[in-house]
Structure 1
Amino acid sequence: MAGQGRTTPGRAADRGATPRRDAARRRAVSLLLGCLLVAPGCSAPSADDPGTGAIQRVLDRRADALLDRDERGYLAAVDPAARELLAAERRTYRNLGDVPVRSWEYRLRDVERDGPRATAHAELRYRMAGYDRSPVTSARTLELAERDGRWYVTADRPGAAGVQQLWQQGAVDVVHGRRSLVLGVGQDNARLREIAAVADRAVPAVDDAWPGDWAGRVVVLVPGSEASMAGLLGASAGSYRGIAAVTTGEIRRRGAAPADRVIVNPDAYRTLGDFGRRVVLTHETTHVATRADTSDATPMWLSEGFSDWLAYRDAGPAHGPAAPELERSLHRGELPAALPQDGDFAFDAGAAGLARAYEGGRLACELIARRWGERELTDFYRAVGAHDEREGAVEDAMNDVLSVTPDAFDALWREYVRERLR
């Protein structure tokens, strides 16, 4: 299962303004840029089919040519008769010109042969030099034709659960920060440098509160528009309206995860002030840092609440009320009886309901940090994520790390919210 964290501008910009929707990390691998896998049921290609080996060699040569900066070699894999594809691949190659690609490979998962034609289902796997410890993977479907004993690519499109890549949207401008890599299309270079500066501040802020082994760097993608952002996420136009940023990545059962990407919505991001931008990128960077310790066992109140807690960790009272929607609920006598459930983070929860969910998760993490300590909070987070399944994960971690039961913690949380928001 997989997930992503999302941030809308309102609450990030000002806690007293329209609530920011740090949206739920979706747990469907099919929606994510950084963790796209082939559809279940695709089998490994047969080693007995000589055509499969020949197709793999064509793709290997194509990948090698890209890394060697050999345009002619890269385009040699494309059928010369497929003029539209040839033009598109030439643009793609040139759009990648300044991108620091360290590795690039295609792994065949399934090949369907029909005489001199074939459809190959593959994983494109690539890494950025100096930033990715593990590859980003994206499903691709390639159509090929054999002519005179040689295979040529005649079509190349996203596969099952696949998405568009940034360099397919235009020439990529690259900004290297101290702790960040920002890749943008159709953006002013000054804007990309400003985003890199904010990301460079976010990384050490996360390092300070999240002791552990992670890349300590973040890759940020800035497409040209909100619609282009949706294309990178395989979503319909308008799906991410008002969402300032998204973190993509795969939530695995346990252990290391593929590389993450923070994708910025330029339309929403530009409406934020300095504080809001810092909150957004710190929140999303926290998702990157905690990815390997986040699993199916991790409830959303903890994963989103922890990212929000860290993003607001050093914020003072000048930035508005601690939790405006929960405060309104408290004044109406409608304080939730328990911590938010995963369903409370759904799209259809509404802005106010979604804000209450994130505020509730953040104050729960704040309670742990203040009552037990920040180290205990991170230990608790890891203990939950290390559990084999969702059932019992929070209960066992609360018992082992905090020496408290879930019911007792709910009571402490409600009292903490009352005291915090009076």
Structure 2
Amino acid sequence: MLPVRRPPRILPLVVLLLGALLGGCGPRPAGGADTAERDVRRAVADWPRAVPEPLAGIPLTDWAYEVSSVRRDGNGDGNGDGERALATARLRYRLDGYDSAPEESARELELVREGGAWRVSADRPAPGALPQLWDQGPVSVATGTHSLVLGGAGQSAGTLREIAAEADRAVPAASAAWPGPWAGRVVVLVPGSLDAMARLLGRPADTYRGLGAVTTGRVGAGPAPADRVVVNPEGYAGLGAEGRRIILTHEVTHVATRAATSATTPLWLSEGFADWAAYRGASTTPAQAAPALARAVRRGELPGELPRTEDFAFGGDPDAAARAYEGAWLACRLIAAKWGEQALVDLYGRAGREPLETALRETLGVDRAGLTKAWQESLREELR
């Protein structure tokens, strides 16, 4: 295992803008309010025609805005020129060939009236909404066989090509571990810096410091945008070739298993399976890949139970979080070795649909206590 692990998947929410959007709302021409608002909405609807230029190279499709409210300041000359408006809208778009359903973003658009016509002068995230990568500056693109890599401001073309090549190796590795249906392709975002990554995900930078990458997305079956693997450029740059391979295979496995993952899937199974896929076939020994847990076992501190959800939390003891991830991996490794790889895959699928105890009985023929005992015995044997 790498000494620093990644946090639980983050499930991003589209935040809808509520509240006042423009303070002063002056008088409007009698009888013209409805017509003016229709013109503003039409200008926003036409705005996507101008969007592709700053986003050249990104395979965007179905780009559209749904306006929820319009506020005008009512100021301007006698013909209305110079009047300004603020529109709130929901942007929907897809990355062609990667997203099965539209991605969404809450936006705020400024408009100004010139020559009798409204035009969009600014387009930004709505207050409280997460930014898109292009809100942080120019975006560069690298395309692999199974991957689309979007780089934020400052990322070099060479770096993006290298990440695309690694993602292309990670996709078939994830598919080999997870035979269930999935798209077999991945979108990777590479922000310009750790701080840019934190702003993109709406969390403090310290949450991701030292991590190589995380995955965002919504779990569960049904239409949903493709997950995004978000690379921490600082953490990723500090990894060797093997570490980069493990990190990206782990995160791509989360993408592969998304549709089979639900709120009932134990985090130890989700994270452990992703690590099992990443280490599958590698020559790394348990003691080498699980150093934090190995030290604990040698001190006589054998875990009393499988890792709990709260054990994976970051912000506390990093060694404790590392032990949780390592223990989860070794639990999945044990299941694959003792009951078979297909049993591990079946357990993952069932655990997303039914209680864990039921899934364990149906796939492994043991209960949670039985699995825990077998896991503890394997830890004593492999980490001594």
Q: TM-score, normalised by structure 1?
A: 0.77
Specify the alignment match of 2:240 in structure 1: 273
Specify the alignment match of 1:45 in structure 2: none
Query: Whole-Å Cα distance in 1 between the matches of residues 87 and 66 of structure 2?
Result: 10
Query: Whole-Å Cα distance in 1 between the matches of residues 185 and 289 of structure 2?
Result: 29
Specify the alignment match of 1:406 in structure 2: 368
Tell me, yes or no, if structure 1 residue 222 matches structure 2 residue 181.
Answer: no
Q: Structure 1 residue 233: deviation in Å?
A: 1.1
Paired residues of 1:37 and 1:123 also in contact (CA < 8 A): no
Specify the alignment match of 1:60 in structure 2: 45
Paired residues of 1:94 and 1:171 also in contact (CA < 8 A): no
Tell me, yes or no, if structure 1 residue 193 matches structure 2 residue 177.
Answer: no
Specify the alignment match of 1:111 in structure 2: 69
What letter is aligned with 2:340? G
What letter is aligned with 2:372? D
Specify the alignment match of 1:251 in structure 2: 219
Is there any run of 5+ residues in structure 2 with no aligned partner, and where?
A: 20-33, 75-83
Query: Whole-Å Cα distance in 1 between the matches of residues 18 and 362 of structure 2?
Result: 37
Counting aligned pairs with the same residue, the percent is: 51
What letter is aligned with 1:36? V
Query: Whole-Å Cα distance in 1 between the matches of residues 219 and 346 of structure 2?
Result: 18
- Aligned equivalent of 1:349, options 293, 316, 319: 316
Distance 1:114 1:205, change over 3 A: same
What secondary structure, in the 3-state scheme, does the structure 1 residue paired with 2:315 have? Answer: helix
Q: Structure 1 residue 404: deviation in Å?
A: 1.7
Specify the alignment match of 1:22 in structure 2: 6
Query: Whole-Å Cα distance in 2 between the matches of residues 309 and 318 of structure 1?
Result: 12
What letter is aligned with 2:173? A
Tell me, yes or no, if structure 1 residue 241 matches structure 2 residue 209.
Answer: yes
Q: Structure 1 residue 187: deviation in Å?
A: 1.9
Q: Structure 1 residue 143: deviation in Å?
A: 4.9
Specify the alignment match of 2:29 in structure 1: none
Distance 1:94 1:199, change over 3 A: same
Tell me, yes or no, if structure 1 residue 415 matches structure 2 residue 377.
Answer: yes
- Aligned equivalent of 1:36, options 14, 19, 39: 14
Specify the alignment match of 2:55 in structure 1: 96
**Over aligned residues, Cα RMSD in angstroms?**
2.7
Distance 1:406 1:237, change over 3 A: closer
Q: Structure 1 residue 102: deviation in Å?
A: 2.5
Query: Whole-Å Cα distance in 2 between the matches of residues 256 and 399 of structure 1?
Result: 31
1:11-410 alignment runs, 5 A limit? 11-12=1-2, 19-26=3-10, 29=11, 32=12, 36-38=14-16, 55-63=40-48, 65=49, 71=50, 74=51, 94-108=53-67, 110-111=68-69, 113=71, 120-143=87-110, 152-153=119-120, 155-159=122-126, 161-185=128-152, 186-252=154-220, 254-317=221-284, 321-387=288-354, 393-410=355-372
Specify the alignment match of 2:24 in structure 1: none
What does the per-residue CA deviation read over 1:341-392, in whole Å, with 9 as the maximum and x for residues that have no partner? 11111113322101100011111111221122112211211111124xxxxx
Number of aligned positions between the proteins: 360
Paired residues of 1:21 and 1:243 also in contact (CA < 8 A): yes
Query: Whole-Å Cα distance in 2 between the matches of residues 318 and 341 of structure 1?
Result: 24
Q: Which moved more, 1:269-278 or 1:228-237?
A: 228-237
Greater Rg by CA:
2
What secondary structure, in the 3-state scheme, does the structure 2 residue paired with 1:214 have? Answer: coil
Q: Structure 1 residue 221: deviation in Å?
A: 1.3
What does the per-residue CA deviation read over 1:235-269, in whole Å, with 9 as the maximum and x for residues that have no partner? 344442212112111224x4343221111111111
Paired residues of 2:5 and 2:211 also in contact (CA < 8 A): yes
What letter is aligned with 1:397? A
What letter is aligned with 1:96? L
Paired residues of 1:25 and 1:300 also in contact (CA < 8 A): no
What secondary structure, in the 3-state scheme, does the structure 2 residue paired with 1:321 have? Answer: helix
Distance 1:189 1:405, change over 3 A: same
Q: Structure 1 residue 179: deviation in Å?
A: 1.0
What letter is aligned with 2:5? R
What secondary structure, in the 3-state scheme, does the structure 2 residue paired with 1:349 have? Answer: coil
Paired residues of 1:255 and 1:293 also in contact (CA < 8 A): no
Query: Whole-Å Cα distance in 1 between the matches of residues 172 and 198 of structure 2?
Result: 29
What does the per-residue CA deviation read over 1:275-333, in whole Å, with 9 as the maximum and x for residues that have no partner? 00000100110111111111111221111111111111121137962421111111111
What letter is aligned with 2:56? G
What does the per-residue CA deviation read over 1:212-246, in whole Å, with 9 as the maximum and x for residues that have no partner? 22110111111221111112112344442212112
